[in-house]
Amino acid sequence: MQTAAMNGYVLVVAVTGLAPWTTFAPSVRYNGFEPADYTCAHCGEDFTSYARACARCESVPCPDCGR
């Protein structure tokens, strides 16, 4: 059984036996990554980024100083 939120509803897909798919992806509008706010540890500049954070340092490159 798999579920997905769609416009205030919860869509449930359930089958008996083995499902012919590995994951269910309902056709909902995907707008990309959500923005996140960061403060540069080097220059102290506050900025917003849509990039994924580094798994090691949990930040993204600063647009001001590049670190």
Output the pLDDT for position 22: 64
* DSSP 8-state code for residue 53: P
Buried b (16+ CB within 10 A) or exposed e, 40-63: beeeeeeeebeeeeeeeeebbebe
Query: Tell me, what's the pLDDT at 63?
Result: 92
What is the residue-level pLDDT of the chain in tens, covering all 67 positions? 778 888 888 988 887 777 776 666 666 666 667 889 999 989 999 999 988 888 888 889 999 998 8
Q: What's the pTM value of the predicted model, to 2 decimals?
A: 0.49
Q: How far is CA 48 from CA 16, 38, 42, 52, 53, in A?
A: 46, 6, 16, 11, 12
DSSP assignment letter at 26:
-
Q: What pLDDT score was predicted for residue 46?
A: 94
